[in-house]
Amino acid sequence: MDAGAGSCNACGAVGTALMKLSLGKDFFGRAYDRLSPSSDQSPKWYCEPCSMQKNLQRDFRDIRAEFEKLTAGQISELSQTETFQRAALRLREIAAILGATSHQSPFLAAPDVAHLIGRFQTTTMQA
């Protein structure tokens, strides 16, 4: 908890508990680059709903990036069927959570998630 920020860096909420986004492993178990202190110069503080959605956005971005590699014929985490299915499940989970929340955050647009789910399904059918 940091008193210096005062408001959520995403939605601007004040008077609520703010948390610095915890750094850890990404969806594919890789460490984030900004785990190193030198690259963590501008920490962001988020209220709880934004923090949650930021995590969803991170997973979504990671999955989308690997999916782009896969469709481009490059080496991808999603080349493994098990990982691909896990990612597909996670996308559905993200869509469900987004659909259930009324909290507006700038991180994720539900249509983007739905679009990627559609592309996943197309790819599955071709396999």
Interface positions with Zn ion (CB under 5 A): 8, 10-11, 13, 47, 50
19: left (phi over 0), alpha (psi -120 to 50) or beta: beta
The tokens 């900004």 sit on which residue? 34
- Minimum CB distance to Zn ion smaller for 13 or for 21: 13
What Cα–Cα distance (Å) separates residue 55 from each residue in 59, 74, 119?
Answer: 6, 26, 22
Smallest distance, Zn ion to C-beta of residue 90, A: 22
CA 19/CA 27 separation, integer angstroms: 21
Q: Tell which residue, 67, 73, 69, has the closest CA to residue 88.
A: 67
Smallest distance, Zn ion to C-beta of residue 111, A: 21
- Minimum CB distance to Zn ion smaller for 3 or for 125: 3
- Minimum CB distance to Zn ion smaller for 5 or for 13: 13
Smallest distance, Zn ion to C-beta of residue 6, A: 12
- Minimum CB distance to Zn ion smaller for 8 or for 94: 8
Smallest distance, Zn ion to C-beta of residue 42, A: 17
